[in-house]
Amino acid sequence: MGRVTRKPTATMVKLKAFVKDMDDFSVRIGWFSSAKYADGTPAAYVASIHEFGAPSRGIPARSFIRPTISAKTGDWSQQMRYLSKQIVGGVMNTEQALTHLALVARGDVDATLARLTEPELSPLTIYIRKFVKSGGKIFGYRDVMRLRWQMEKEEKDGTLDLSGVSTDPLDFSGYMRSQLTFTVTKK
């Protein structure tokens, strides 16, 4: 009985090489150690508090990474299929394709950040933002409690004004969004 031997096509060889080459790269999207607020607080720390919340400090979760992954995984897979054809066709290499995909994913996380409006900020948070915007400094828990007392007093007196400051839950200064980035590195 005869035997059929299949020789891999040039496309299959290139596709196999691409898949193997992908294992040599690491793709990271997020906030890296160099991104710190003026007071030294890492942007990644602030992002993680918003992603998961800090119930003991009265901060609810305002997740933006996990919902983006859930909503966009199919799109990213489709994008990767397109990029693999570009690699096989010699239009780009693996690093360029992964850089493109990382840029798309970074944009998707940023878009989720920009759309997030809930849960709303507490009146105290808005009051603190207004205080900071006017040049005030907060150095710890006592300052927050002092501002809380002051806000409650103004509320009681009917003089409380929470206008003139962003109520966007994740974009007080714009710093966290501006520092969202990605890296594609060869292992």
Domains identified in the chain, total number: 2
- Do 56 and 111 sit in the same domain of this protein? yes
- Do 57 and 134 sit in the same domain of this protein? no
- Residue 172 has a pLDDT of 80
**Per residue in 126-174, pLDDT tens?**
999 999 889 988 887 888 899 999 999 999 999 999 998 888 888 788 8
CA–CA distance, 105 with 30 (Å, rounded to integer): 10
CA–CA distance, 84 with 79 (Å, rounded to integer): 9
Q: Which domain holds residue 44?
A: 10-120+169-186
What's this model's pTM, rounded to 2 decimal places? 0.80
Q: How many residues does the chain have?
A: 187
Residue 5 within a domain? no
- Do 59 and 144 sit in the same domain of this protein? no
